[in-house]
Every structure is written in C-alpha cells, then in structure tokens.
Amino acid sequence: MNSQSSTQNAEPHDIAIQAAQLFDKPEIKRVLNSDVAINALLARLKQSLLTCEEFTKFIRKKYLFEEEHVEELSKQYKHFFVTTSGTNSSLKVKIHDILEFDGKLAQVKQSYVTALQKMCDEMSALLLTMTKMRKTVKENSRRLEKEVSDAIHTAEKAQARYDSLCQDWDKLRMTDPTKTKLTLRGSKTTKEQEEELLRKIDTADLEYKQRVDHSDSLRNTFITKERPKIVLELKDLIMEIDTAMSIQLQKYTIWTENLILNSGITVAPFESTKSMKSVALSVTNEIDLYNYLNKYNSTGKTTSLVNKNLIPVAYKKHPSMIKNSSNATSKISPSYVVNPAKNSIPKRIISTHNESPFSSSANSAATTAAAGQSAIANNSSFKVNPTSSNIPTSGSDYSSSNTVYSSDPNYKQRMQSAKETIPLPQPNAASKTLDPGNFAAARIPSLSTTVSTSTPDSDRPLSHVQTNSIMPPGTQNNFKTFGVPLEKLVEYEQDMVPAIVRQCIYVIDKYGLDLEGVYRKSANVLDISKLKEEIDKDPSNVSMILPPKNYGDSDIYLVGSLLKAFFAALPESLLPEEIGQEVKACLSIDDEATRKNYMHGLIYKLPDAQYWTLRALLFHLKRVAEHEPQNRMNLKSLNIIWGPTLVAPNRDDPNDVNYQIKAMEILFAVADQAFESE
C-alpha cells in the first residue's frame, strides 16, 4: 500500500525513472537472457501491432461518421424555417435562430474531424513501419538461430561418426589376431585393419573437434552478441509503438474534451443572453397573435373585416308591385342552403338499387329531376343523416375510388354542396349495407354514387374492348373499366392501382385464400359477362364484387375469374411486348442472382401504373401460394395460370407458352427484391 501511494504521489519524471529500472531487476534479466526472450518479445510486439491496428480502425470509422455528420449538420438546417420579411412570427424566427446553432456546432466539430483524420494517418503509418521492422528483426533472428542450429547438428553428426569408428576399433581388438579379412583389394591382416581404422579415427576426431569448435563459436557469438542486440531492438520497438499509441490516446482524449467544451460554450456561452436556452425563452406567442390580428386594422379598409357573401339581403318590394300589393298572391320563396343563382347541382341524380340509374324513359327522367327539385324546394336545411345513410364504412377498401365524373373545374365544390343539400334516398329493408355480412342474396351497387353526373365530354378513358351490347343512355361515351389502357385508368381514378384490382385482391385475401383451386377453377361465363357489364356501366359497381352474406365457392371463383378477365382485356400486357427481347435475354442468363438483378432492372423501367399494379398482384399471388396446403395452388400452378395473362407472347413464336411461364417464375422470384414489402 505504501509503495502504491508513493508511486501515485511521485512526479512524472520520477515515475519514468522507476519504470526504466524495472528492466534491471534480476527476474526480468533472467528472462531476457534466456532462449525464450526473442520469441516472447516478438509475440508481445505483435500484440502491440494488433492493438494499434484495432484503434486505427476505430478512429477511421469514427472519422468517416463524424465527417458525414458535420456535412449534414452544416447544410440541413438551412432548408428549414427560412424567414421571409413581414410574415414571420417570433416562434418561427427563434426556431430559425436555434437551428443556426447546428451550423456553429458543425464548425466546432470540423476541427475535431480534422484531428481524427490526422490521427488515423499517423497511426496507419506507424503500423506499417512497425510491421516491416518486426518482420526484418524476426527474419534476422531466425537466420542466426538456424546457423547455430545447423552447426550444432553438423557437430552431432561428426560425433556420431567418431563414436562409430571407435566402437569398430574396440571390436577389432577383441577378434583373433591370426584371422584375415577378405576385401575387394585382397586379404588384410588384423594389424593392417587396425592401422587403417586408426587413420580413419584420427580423421574423424579432427573433423569432430573442428565441428564442435565451430558450433561453440557460433553459439557463443549468438548468445553474447547477436541475441542481446535483437532483444534490445525488440524491446525498443515495443516501447516505441506503445509510447506512440499512448500519445495518440492522449490526443484523442484532448480533442474529445475540446469538442465537448467548445460545444458547451457554443450552446451556453458566458454571456447568457446569447445561449440557446435564452433564445428559446424569448418566444412571445401572445404578441405574435396580437400583431397578426392587428394587421387587419392597420390596412385602413373596413371592408377587409366584412365577408360580402354574408351581407343579408334587405326585403324591398318592387315599385311596380307597390300599387297592387293588396291583390298580390305571390308566395315568398324558401331560402336555400345552396343559392340556385350562384350554384348548380348535378344534372342527374343516381337512384338507389331499387331504381334504374339509366332509365331511357323521358317520363322517368323527368320524374327523377322533379323529385330532386322538390326535395330542394321543400326543405330549409338539407343535411345528410349519417345514421340513415347506407354508404358502406367497412368491408371494402375502395370508397375513395368511387369517383364522380365531371369535366366541370368547380365540380368538387359543387358536389360537396349537393351532398349537403340533397337527401339520400332511403333503402328498403332488404339491403341495409354493402358489408358482406349484411348482404341478402344479390350484389347491390354502392350508394357512394347516389349523386353523380354524366356529361358528353366525360374524361373517362375510352375502352378498347369491342362490344355489341346496347348500353343504357348516358354510359356509352367513355364510361368503361375493362379494355382501358392501364395508365389512363389509373390517371382517371387518381390512384396507383385500379379499383377493380384492389377490390378483387381484397375479396380473395379475405374469403378465398383457403379455397381449393382458386384462380384455377373458372366461374360461369354468363356471370362474368354480367358483372363486367355492370362495372362498365358504372365504375362504382366494383362494390358488387363483394360476396353476399351466404356466399358460396362459386362467388369467390367469380371474383378470381373477373380479375383474370380484367388483365386479359388490357390492350397491352402488364409485361409489354416492347421489352420482349430484354425478357428473352433475361431468361437466357444462367446465374440466378444475375438473372434476378436483370429482371429487377426491367421492372424498375415499367411505367408507374404497371409497376404498382404488378407489385400488388405479385404479393397477393404469393399470399395465395403460402396457403398451398389448403388451396392446392403452388407457385408452379400460378405461373401456368398467370404467365400467359400477364406476359406478352414471344414475338418469334406466339405459341411458346413456356416463355411466358418462365418469365412469371422470375417475377415471383424477384418480387421481394424489386418491391417494397407490403
């Protein structure tokens, strides 16, 4: 405890001297003078290099992050709350002033980013230099150790040869002196053999002694001279890189402290009136509202405080009628919520499902018009009661798509006035709502089209489906859904996906995902034709796609067949013929990832209408495939059914259905990659 406290209280110079003396302790010298010293120091230097490398990576990543943050911080605030003269409240001005602190903080952080970049460069250079030096020292030490090891190994071989000859001499001395040895050069007596063996022993002894002397010399040189030099060099490298890393760490802490302190001074300077908090406290909401309202008094015109449309009309009898006032029998006309002199209501009022909205009888039309005028004339206020209306509020996602068709630019305002002033007809008890749970036995048109108009110049896109059926009056001119180019239909409905597609997908998702053979089994042709005709009469009749309360499988098959019929009737396939060559090139790619990326590019180039419609349909069909155990419809079946419907035929071989099926397979495979998930 005393040594620790004394170390803590010592001066930095004394601490450095004490640290240097640590290497002079006997236990450390014993390790540094041993054979393990070089390997131990090489391993320790490698640890320092790894530490330097990891810290360098961190500084580089933080530098890139902080640099990006500074760039965004210095420019993003300029795009918000741009002040304009004369219309600025103190709240808006102060928000702008507070956001300007972001620019000041960005300037403070810029020096921090520059320091991080410099640190990163310095440590990268340090790491590279130290790695090269360690490699050089390691190779030199390994070379010297190998020389000593090879010399010792050679001496061991000389010793073994010398020992072997000596053993042969001992054996020869124990043999019979009278015996002779037969060799290729003739027979040798024992004495001759002894003399020859002694000569060999002398030669081996001389070589043995020379090898031993050489190995001892190399070893002594390595231990006394080379190894201490290598150990000292490695120790210096370790201390150098660790010291450099300590300095870089101190730099990092200093720059971080400076950043925090300067940021604090920027946000809350010594002059408290310029701090961010004081700026926020200086907002005067009451004065802002007072100044805003007082502007209407400062204009000097009293007319700016009066709405001309709300000036009441004074009753004043016409001079020509004053004399005959006693005989006048005229009645005071009722007041209107909608002024007939300045406003107009739609020319045709679509009745409920109990009456035909397209009656060809002049009497019926006159009766309907008269009923509308009477309803206006006999009511002083015409507000629609939400509780008595049977406009559906659930069960369909397409109430926003039941658009009223008119070429009048002021049509929306007029329609709003008409909806507020014209009472909706009361439905009968058999059809209270369009919700599937409350249907009787028949599909009923949506009452969201109770007020509708049809003009000869309607902007409904023309249908490309030729039909000989006679449509009711007022619907033959530009009023169809089937056979219309997808771009025009989407543009008309002001939505990304046609209403009929969304309605069919909704029904199948809710009622048909577990239905066996959905999309494979077809409905009755007459039922399909009848439903198409109803929708072509009035697009709001897509609500008739909803199944009745006691629906059966045939009702769901009808919806699936209707959806296929819609895409089959398009003038141009969803995957058009213009990109047929590119689709064929995509199919010829062997690599799956490349093939999917190529198809992703083709989908990206599709127009918005095709793109969003294809997205909605593909994700819907994938949901169908997920219910394969129940509906027995896997992706292969869906490819066979939908491929010829959505993909244009092969221009070179129109009968090549496999081309369309394979293209559909790639569309399914790339759906999650090409589109945002639902």
pTM, two decimals, is 0.40
Residue 29: predicted pLDDT: 84
Tokens of 533: 């005709």
Inter-residue contact 119 to 252 (CB < 8 Å): yes
Tokens 């010291």 correspond to 243
Residue 256: predicted pLDDT: 92
Strand ranges in 148-224 using DSSP code E only, listed in sequence order: 180-183, 186-189
Q: How many CB atoms lie within 10 A of CB 49?
A: 18
Residue 301: predicted pLDDT: 55
Name every residue whose Cβ is closer than 8 Å to that of residue 399 and which is 6 or more positions away in sequence.
391, 392, 393, 446, 448
For residue 188, list its beta bridge partners.
Answer: 181
In three-state form (DSSP H/G/I as H, E/B as E, the rest C), the secondary structure along 239-285 is HHHHHHHHHHHHHHHHHHHHHHHHHHHHHCCCCHHHCHHHHHHCCCH
d(C-alpha 422, C-alpha 346), whole Å: 10
d(C-alpha 469, C-alpha 471), whole Å: 6
d(C-alpha 197, C-alpha 89), whole Å: 119
Residue 372: predicted pLDDT: 38
Inter-residue contact 633 to 512 (CB < 8 Å): no
Residue 297: CA count within 13 A, CB half-sphere: 5
Domains and CATH numbers, the chain: 17-173+188-274 (1.20.1270.60), 486-674 (1.10.555.10)
- From the first residue on, what is the mean pLDDT of each consecutive set of 10 residues in the chain (678 residues)? 50 64 82 89 94 94 90 78 68 82 86 92 94 94 92 93 89 72 62 84 92 92 91 92 94 92 86 82 85 75 69 79 54 37 31 32 37 36 35 35 37 40 36 34 33 39 42 45 91 89 95 93 92 89 91 93 94 91 92 93 93 95 94 93 93 89 94 86
d(C-alpha 130, C-alpha 128), whole Å: 6
For residue 451, list its beta bridge partners.
Answer: 349
Inter-residue contact 134 to 42 (CB < 8 Å): yes
Q: In the chain, what's the furthest Cα-to-Cα distance?
A: 186
Buried b (16+ CB within 10 A) or exposed e, 9-41: eeeeeeeeeeeeeeeeeeeeeeebeeeebbeeb
d(C-alpha 52, C-alpha 246), whole Å: 10
d(C-alpha 112, C-alpha 258), whole Å: 8
d(C-alpha 421, C-alpha 372), whole Å: 10
d(C-alpha 578, C-alpha 580), whole Å: 6
Residue 465: predicted pLDDT: 43
Q: How many CB atoms lie within 10 A of CB 113?
A: 22
Residue 242: predicted pLDDT: 93
